[in-house]
Structure 1
Amino acid sequence: MPSRLRRIAAGQPALWTAFVVVHLWLGYDGLTHPNLPFGDVTNVYLPWVEQSLDGYRLGIDGPWVYPVLAFVPMLASLVLGPGLYGIGWMIMVTIADAAVFFYLVTHPRTGAAGRVTRVAAAWWWLVFLLLLGPVAVGRIDIFTVDLVIGGLLLTASRPALAGVLLALATWVKVWPAAVIAAVVLAVRRRMRVAVAALVTLVGVAAGALAFGSGLNAFSFITEQTGRGLQVEAPVSTFWLWAALAGNGSRVYYDFDILTFQVTGPGSDAAAGLMTPLLVVAVAAVLVLAFVVVRSGAAASSVLPPLVLALVMALIVFNKVGSPQFMVWLTAPVILGVVTQGRRFFVPAVLAFVMAGLTQIIYPIGYDWVLGLDPFMLSVLTLRNLLSVAMLALAVVLLWRARRPGGPTHRLASAARSGELTTDITSSETRS
């Protein structure tokens, strides 16, 4: 790219113009696409909010599938009234994304090299959202992702604030709990992160209990344990092809969970095994990370592949395969691009491919997926195989972070001798 174009692309006007255009398109596509990618927003979240405003508080007066703080952005999206709830939702999403985007591209302590990687991460984020499509911003997951990105970028410079943000994200949706474990394991000022996260987690729980929730505040832990295999989950791939072959497997709609699932010989047993396998996979990644950290590896080398490996373990071994799960990838990849630059090129590009395939699956070709179209089943199978490949890649990158004589050991030695900045948002960007 010519130097003039690089300067334009790195400028605030270009970045913010692209940010606005991408969010306008995603909002428009989400609200007008015939397959209703914003269906959860307008057909599920809005009735939940109206039900709560009528006196039955979800997660307080009765069980709910989400942690209690998930209600906050849902309620805030009523800013324009129920008739324009979808637009109100996009306003809240855009504000949340803009706050993180602003910090990413205007961090005052970033040098010239750090500025380059942050701008690259910002552009990567926008392209990824565009490739993933409206589902990226049409689910509650986008708010957890914003909190996690902010928390990860603050782990070294503001560890207590990072712990608070990650804990708040966990009270919106559960998956960021794995990120808290990763940060506490990898960074040097882990106690500040751990204490801040614990105080926040307990504080939110105490607030819910004070409102009279009782055990309903924790109902999200058990509400979905009995569900089957969702169509898009990697483990469901076998039963989809079996259904196409006509051996007794089929796709059906679960009216309790409000999603399409697969059933067939062995599917119930597989559904029962997936949660234990997920726990084992996450534990295995954390044990590997412990070994790597003990070797003296720098946090800025360990944390991005560790979070990526945990996110992919949560996706690959999950019996729920919702397309919005792919937006979780933004947190570790943005951190990896910021801290490691070109060394995170392969995961960043692979994430692009997975995002594009996911949009083809949903919302573009979802009817064909449900109709067991062979081409769309091939697309879904490829996306799921790439998910497994991304998990394997993340594990390899994590292990290489402790390779004797490799760059990680030299960087760790430099960190211990004071030659390397402790700020994870700028460390290693000079390499």
Structure 2
Amino acid sequence: MDSAGTRRSLAGLLGTWGLTRLVLLLFVFKVFVFPGPDVTTDVSVIYQGWYDTLRHGTFPLGDVTWQYPPAAALPVLSPALLGFLSYAQAFFVLAFLADLVVLLLLLYAGLRPGKTLRGTWVWVAGVPLLGPTVYARYDVMVTAVAVAGLLAGARHPRVMGVLVGFGAMLKVWPALLVLGARKRGAWGWAGGTVAALAVLFAATMPGAFAFLTFQRDRGTEVESLGSLVFHVARHFGWNGRVLLNYGSVEFLGPYVTLVSSAALFLTGVAFGWLLLWRLMATRFLPNTLADAAFVTVLMFTATSRVISPQYMVWLLGAAAVCMCFRSSRMGLPVGLVLAAALMTVLEFPVWFEHVVASDTLGITLLVLRNGLLVAACVLGAVELWRSTVSREPVPALPAQATRTRETSTSS
């Protein structure tokens, strides 16, 4: 891209980011009212309640909604850095700044040789599709750490390991990012960081790992893939209930344990496939680490018994890093994830009452969103296998083919 074209693209990116993020801030600060239930209550009620406990040096031991690794205390406590604002206002500003950090990381990566700004556009366009929920959860902060780790992975595996380990102690899922790492340094430093932080928190704050016992009695969350069984079954006499349980709206009743176990089984199958891929892969390209991370997070999200809207932020971060690489062939799965993000904001919060009621609109939205995620899983897995395991040569992308012909002609 020439310098004039680069400047125009940057102006478009920054302008779009600024405008969409201003709108998100106006929603979370309640200048405008977003349709559906108020997504900011998690911050003003739940997070602030945890804050009041954590600032006294202990974890919320009696609160079963605290289901996070000990380093999650850091983003919950972080609004104290902006003491001149209320807790909720400070949290929204910090979430906005985390979003800005991701933008800058992707811009820096996208402007390097062999990279592209497509990844930055995925983030810029994808986040507003999820609505104000992005700024009302701490997942955007975790995603900033994960994106930094992925981008560092190819050249600085130790840095990646530290960032991934820290991210895993914030919300577990960044641990999945090291699966595609070829150098042992990333694995070793990730494990070492997790161990060091675990010892630190266990020694300084009571109840650091109490969250591990708060997951046993969970049901099947109403937005998950498995929940579709009960959404349909309610129309044929299933006599279970929909309740706020362990911090999310879940199905409870007959056969819920069976469906939850089936979800765990699917997660195990996904993990087995990923291990097989890792053992069989022989061709590691510059984009393989990011592609593998995207597919891994996608698989574990789609098969989870809980698919909260903020989980989509993880996918957008991993997808954006994939699209920074010109050689990545994850364009179609990433497009499906973007479509799933749009379906997500429609099912929560816009028409969440229809999801809870299991009516035609609610079921249709879930079928579309979860169907898009499953399709992205399958296509992403096929492409990852094809590009790294298959003995057949991988066809060049159109841009690569053009450059090859130009090189041959000039020689």
Question: Which of the five TM-score ranges fits, normalised by the shorter chain?
Answer: 0.7 to 0.9
Equivalence for 1:17: 15
Shift of 1:95: 2.0
1:179 maps to amino acid? L
Q: CA deviation at 1:61?
A: 9.9
How far does the alpha carbon of each residue in 1:306-336 deviate from its partner, in whole angstroms, 9 at most, with x for none? 2222212212221112111111112331222
Are 2:322 and 2:328, in contact at CA under 8 Å, matched by a contact in 1? no
- Alignment check: 8 A CA contact 2:334 2:376 kept: no
CA distance in 2, matches of 1:138, 1:212: 26
Distance of 1:301 and 1:106 partners within structure 2? 16
Match of 2:48 in 1: 46
Q: Alpha carbons of 1:342 and 1:171: their partners in 2 closer, same or farther (altered >3 Å)?
A: closer
Alignment correspondent of 2:271: 282
Query: Are 1:199 and 2:199 an aligned pair?
Result: no
Residue of structure 1 equivalent to 2:180: 183
Contact 1:240–1:262 (CA under 8 A) maintained in structure 2: no
With over 3 angstroms needed to count, the CA separation of the structure-2 counterparts of 1:404 and 1:253, relative to structure 1, is: same
Counterparts of residues 19-418 of structure 1 (less than 5 Å)? 19-32=17-30, 33=34, 35-53=37-55, 55=56, 57-58=58-59, 64-81=66-83, 84-107=86-109, 110-111=112-113, 113-114=114-115, 117=116, 119-180=117-178, 182-184=179-181, 187=182, 190-213=183-206, 216-254=207-245, 257-292=246-281, 296-340=282-326, 343-401=329-387, 402-407=389-394
* Cα separation, 1, equivalents of 2:110 and 2:15: 21
Cα distance change of structure 1 residues 130 and 247 upon mapping to structure 2, 3 Å threshold: same
Instruction: Give ranges in structure 1 of 5+ residues lacking alignment.
Output: 412-431
SS of the counterpart of 1:300? coil
Taking a change above 3 Å as real, the CA distance of residues 236 and 61 of structure 1, as seen in their structure-2 partners, is closer
* 1:308–1:391 CA contact under 8 A, matched in 2: no
Please, which moves more after superposition, 43-52 or 86-95?
86-95
Contact 2:165–2:175 (CA<8 Å) still a contact in 1?
yes
Distance 1:285 1:372 in 2: 34
Q: Which residue identity is paired with 2:231? A: L
Which residue identity does 2:386 align to in structure 1?
R
Aligned-residue CA RMSD (Å): 2.8
- In the TM superposition, what whole-angstrom CA distance separates every residue of 1:47-75 from its partner, at most 9, and x where no partner exists? 1101223x362168998411111111111
The count of aligned residue pairs is 391
The TM-score, its normalising length taken from structure 2, stands at 0.87
CA displacement at 1:24 relative to structure 2: 2.3
What amino acid sits opposite 1:253 in the alignment?
Answer: L
Unmatched tracts of structure 2, length 5 or more: 398-411
Q: Report the CA distance shift for 1:108/1:309 in structure 2 as closer, same or farther (over 3 A).
A: closer
SS in 2 for 1:251: strand
Alignment-mate amino acid for residue 364 of structure 1:
V
Is the 8 Å Cα contact of residues 305 and 397 (structure 1) preserved in structure 2?
no
Percent identity, aligned pairs only?
25
Residue 167 of structure 2 aligns to a residue whose secondary structure is helix
Q: Tell me if the contact between 1:60 and 1:208 (Cα under 8 Å) persists in the aligned partners.
A: no
Mapped to 2, the partners of 1:67 and 1:320 lie a distance apart of: 17
Residue 230 of structure 1: CA displacement? 0.5
> 1: CA distance between counterparts of 2:305 and 2:69?
19
Cα distance, 1:109 vs structure 2: 7.8
SS of the residue 1:171 aligns to: helix
Aligned AA for 2:58?
A: R
| Whole-angstrom distance in 2 between the partners of 1:273 and 1:201 | 29
Alignment partners' CA distance in 2, 1:88 and 1:130:
20
Residues 19-67 of structure 1, C-alpha deviation per residue, up to 9 Å, x if partnerless? 33222222322343351112211111011101223x3621689984111
Shift of 1:7: 4.2
Which secondary structure does the structure 1 equivalent of 2:170 belong to? coil
